[in-house]
Amino acid sequence: MKFSTPATTNPIDQLKIVGKPVDRIDGPMKTTGTALYAHEQHAAAPNAAVGYVVAAAISKGRIGSIDLAEARRAPGVLTIVTADSAGKLGKGDFNTARLLAGPEVDHYHQAVALVVAETFEQARAAASLVRVKYIKASGAYDLAKAKDTAKKPKKDQPDSKFGNFAGAFAAAPVKLDATYTTPDQSHAMMEPHASIAAWEGDKLTVWTSNQMINWTRGDLAKTLGVPKENVRLISPFIGGGFGGKLFLRAEAVLAALGARAVKRPVKVALPRPMMINNTTHRPATIQRIRIGASRDGKITSIGHESWSGDLPGGNLEVAVLQTRLLYAGPNRMTSMRLAVLDLPEGNAMRAPGEAPGMMALEIAMDEMAEKLKIDPVTFRILNDTKVDPEKPDRRFSQRRLIDCMRSGAERFGWNKRDPVPGTVREGQWLIGMGVASALRNNLVMKSAARIRLDANGLVTVETDMTDIGTGSYTIIAQTAAEMMGVPLNMVAVKLGDSDFPVSAGSGGQWGANSSTAGVYAACVKMRTAVAEKLGLPAADVEFADGMVKSGGRSLPLRQAAASGPLVAEDFMEYGDLDKKFQQSTFGAHFVEVAVDAFTGETRVRRMLAVCAAGRILNPKSARSQVIGAMTMGVGAALMEELYVDKRQDFGFFVNHDLASYEVPVHSDIPHQEVIFLDETDPMSSPMKAKGVGELGICGVGAAIANAIYNATGVRVREYPITLDKLLPKLPAII
């Protein structure tokens, strides 16, 4: 099925099950421990040996030699895999660095070898006996020092220009020119990168924790040099990914190599230090923002430049994307530059682009509002736009930023905010409020599903879509139940298997809308098949309460499968509506903080997110996504930072565990409120939905920074906003 014209009325609009706050159907399995994750597939892959990764102890250079003799003699050791024994390995399309080093070492903790033994303890002990001699090379690890060597990317993400930015900025009566920095950050998901691999002849099955089954299946086949059809990936449950499990990682490749060598299943899980240094992270940014405005508060010029770093051949952190769309202004400029750094690979993490970009832009907007002596909410509303500012002939499919701002301001009590910084106190605490806009673009991807109807009336959905804790099982079940007119308990959902039709996968805020649209397409085909089987006209048939009705006739749905199951498979692909209309999601974040006047300790006291993101398929799971994203925003604003050892011969993330890489805990998070505006977007998909999960983090960091400024009068432009950055400038204690 192709979606090329705006959606009209369809069965989803009944909203009997879709749009309801349904409990997660996988919840009982997760709370009873019967939801099996990748590392727990003992029945599917019995008698699995255990692999332990030997990781590079240098950041750049070569392996001079590896002595495996002592490790091979250790108790329980079955084999040791190195680049020499693995044979020729390719590199996946989505990998920047090779996943097994040798002889070159590209980054710290790049895998050097895999020790396979009968038990985890034996494999770990033997791994410590592998003797590697390295030949070090000097590397670059400091973005600030490498900034001047950064280059314009050769491929996508070109600079953007509209009007005459330089001239308009120079002539603006009120202007801001400020630089902001965001640090390297880790996904810090709960479940580690983990896989179990098993070969049956030349066929490979890998149970893995991965967000994008089809991408990873292709890259694993390419890396191993085997046909894609010989590789099967299974990932039914994922304990958090946040972009860190979008792509093939070392543990899956090494498990496959180990299993091939010992001719039995092998399981590999990365310990936390290797999750942080061996896999991907959010790269640091340096961002310069210039805004010029007339004295009445209208933006006349806006420029946003960003610098980030990655390994050779790596990718940008696309931190300027929201600035191209969020506010009006006739003269505009954005640019991004990429420096070569020899740190572990930088890649997608928690709303890549907009999350770090808005941490800068939305502070700059508050700084301009202060210069203009205009309320920050009013200033944002004043510079709203209904069209893409760089393509004025393209309007937004839906844009309710003003509604988000106004309803949020009213609910949060914004009118009680004192605009003079540092004036509101409660004992030793300085109190402040902050606001920021939220934007995340709506992405749609081709997605397929298969529907089965059996003689009992059970509808089974099969798709390789994954559930990373966001509720995919439930919204897919809701979609099928709505379309086929059955209760939720008559739908079974099977996910995360490459034997199933290829879906959009989970990531980038595209998963829910795209995957349910694929289920919608398959259900449309199934409805036609059922009508034909029952001898009913497909054009006006109604599916409700387990019955199929048309022209005064009413027949049980199950009757269509009385002589055997019915199967229908289809996909949803998209035309050019996204080119004709800019499709984005919008929101507003409001935060109240208290800052200790003596110590600089910051406590977030209240949080509110107002979201306009199309039809909300399940308000309960959507709220869960948003409050989780808001929590991540607190971490990004106040504590999350990977500390880089920048010495020339080192270059790695020092705080590579959850004791020293700080993330928010329960006591850090106050009451969180989420409001979803009633909205449908017929330009997006037949579901009229859009993504919402990543919208919840976009802008949160800046809202906290703005609240801290309102509380203390201290403007911090370098994240995270730790107390050492506040203490020297806090107002005097009276």
Whether 484 and 459 have beta carbons less than 8 Å apart is answered as yes
| pLDDT per residue as tens digits for the range 647-674 | 878 899 999 999 999 999 999 999 999 9
Closest to 412 measured CA to CA, from 87, 707, 626: 707
Whether 706 and 437 have beta carbons less than 8 Å apart is answered as no
- Is the whole-model pTM more than 0.75? yes
| Interval 568-584 mean pLDDT | 96
Closest to 324 measured CA to CA, from 300, 308, 349, 303: 303
Residue 734 pLDDT grade (very low, low, confident, very high; cuts 50, 70, 90)? low
| pLDDT per residue as tens digits for the range 358-390 | 999 999 999 999 999 999 999 999 999 999 999
Give the position of tokens 């033997």.
126
Model pLDDT, residue 379: 98
Is 530 inside a domain boundary? yes
Rg, the chain, Cα only: 27
Q: How far is CA 430 from the centre of its chain?
A: 34
Determine if the peptide bond prior to 720 is cis (ω within 30°).
yes
Looking at the fold, whether 450 and 535 belong to one and the same domain comes out as: yes
β-strand pairing of 104-105 with 299-310: unpaired
Q: What separation, in Å, do the N-terminal and C-terminal C-alpha atoms of the chain show?
A: 69
Handedness of CA 143, 147, 153, 154 (dihedral sign): negative
Among the candidates 535, 556, 579, a domain finishes at 579
Looking at the fold, whether 242 and 99 belong to one and the same domain comes out as: yes
Is 536 inside a domain boundary? yes
Closest to 59 measured CA to CA, from 103, 99, 98, 108: 108
* CA dist., res. 422 & res. 469, Å (int): 40
Is 156 inside a domain boundary? no
Model pLDDT, residue 697: 98
* Alpha helices (runs of H) in 178-279, residue ranges in sequence order: 213-224, 250-262, 272-278
What angle (nearest 5°) sits at the alpha carbon of residue 64, between those of residues 60 and 66?
110
What does the block give as tokens for 434?
Answer: 């902050």
Quick one: DSSP state of residue 488?
G
Q: How many domains does the chain have?
A: 3
Burial of residue 477 (CB within 10 Å: 0-12, 13-18, 19+) is buried
What does the block give as tokens for 7?
Answer: 């959606």
Model pLDDT, residue 273: 96
Model pLDDT, residue 119: 98
| Interval 78-107 mean pLDDT | 97
Is 22 inside a domain boundary? yes
Looking at the fold, whether 133 and 247 belong to one and the same domain comes out as: yes
Catalytic residue among 70, 370, 694, 718: 694
Model pLDDT, residue 123: 98
| Interval 501-518 mean pLDDT | 97
Looking at the fold, whether 617 and 715 belong to one and the same domain comes out as: yes
| pLDDT per residue as tens digits for the range 290-318 | 999 999 999 999 999 999 999 999 999 99
Residue 155 pLDDT grade (very low, low, confident, very high; cuts 50, 70, 90)? confident
Give the position of tokens 């298997």.
497
Looking at the fold, whether 521 and 612 belong to one and the same domain comes out as: no
Model pLDDT, residue 384: 98
Phi, then psi, of 278 in degrees rounded to 5: -85, -30
For the beta sheet containing 429-441, the strands, ordered from the edge strand earlier in sequence to the opposite edge, are 425-426, 429-441, 584-596, 602-612, 671-676
β-strand pairing of 266-269 with 49-55: parallel
| Interval 692-707 mean pLDDT | 97
3-state secondary structure 587-636: EEEEEEEEEECCCCCEEEEEEEEEEECEECCCHHHHHHHHHHHHHHHHHH
Assess whether pLDDT exceeds 90 at residue 154: no
Whether 269 and 194 have beta carbons less than 8 Å apart is answered as yes
Please count the CA atoms within 13 angstroms of the CA of 525 that sit on its side-chain side: 19
Is 227 inside a domain boundary? no
Closest to 503 measured CA to CA, from 451, 461, 464: 464
Q: Which residues contact 167 (CB under 8 A, 6 or more apart)?
A: 331
| Interval 554-581 mean pLDDT | 97
What percent of the chain is predicted at pLDDT more than 70?
A: 100
* CA dist., res. 533 & res. 2, Å (int): 25
What does the block give as tokens for 658?
Answer: 């959850």
Looking at the fold, whether 662 and 570 belong to one and the same domain comes out as: no
Model pLDDT, residue 670: 95
Active-site residue flag, 118: no
* CA dist., res. 541 & res. 531, Å (int): 7
What angle (nearest 5°) sits at the alpha carbon of residue 236, between those of residues 232 and 242?
105
Looking at the fold, whether 591 and 575 belong to one and the same domain comes out as: no
Among the candidates 548, 579, 610, a domain finishes at 579
* Alpha helices (runs of H) in 373-438, residue ranges in sequence order: 376-382, 401-412
Quick one: DSSP state of residue 288?
E
Quick one: DSSP state of residue 24?
P
Closest to 217 measured CA to CA, from 509, 517, 505: 505
Is 364 inside a domain boundary? no
| Interval 479-499 mean pLDDT | 98
Query: What's the one-letter identity of residue 632?
Result: M
Is 669 inside a domain boundary? yes
| Number of residues in the chain | 734
Looking at the fold, whether 499 and 572 belong to one and the same domain comes out as: yes
**Chain mean pLDDT for the chain:** 97
* CA dist., res. 232 & res. 214, Å (int): 10
Looking at the fold, whether 611 and 688 belong to one and the same domain comes out as: yes
Looking at the fold, whether 27 and 56 belong to one and the same domain comes out as: no
Domain housing 516? 2-35+444-579
Q: Could you tell me the CATH number of the domain that includes residue 106?
A: 3.90.1170.50
Give the position of tokens 């349904």.
22
- With H, G, I as helix, E, B as strand and everything else as coil, classify residue 159: coil
What does the block give as tokens for 180?
Answer: 């902001």
* CA dist., res. 429 & res. 593, Å (int): 9
Closest to 438 measured CA to CA, from 696, 180, 710: 696
* Alpha helices (runs of H) in 279-319, residue ranges in sequence order: none
Looking at the fold, whether 22 and 78 belong to one and the same domain comes out as: no
Is 469 inside a domain boundary? yes
Looking at the fold, whether 478 and 608 belong to one and the same domain comes out as: no
Whether 243 and 122 have beta carbons less than 8 Å apart is answered as no
| Interval 702-720 mean pLDDT | 98
Assess whether pLDDT exceeds 80 at residue 224: yes
Model pLDDT, residue 649: 80
Closest to 218 measured CA to CA, from 41, 91, 346, 89: 91
Q: Could you tell me the CATH number of the domain that includes residue 537?
A: 3.30.365.10
| pLDDT per residue as tens digits for the range 260-292 | 999 999 999 999 999 999 999 999 999 999 999
Among the candidates 220, 254, 273, a domain finishes at 273
Q: How far is CA 611 from the centre of its chain?
A: 17
- With H, G, I as helix, E, B as strand and everything else as coil, classify residue 676: strand
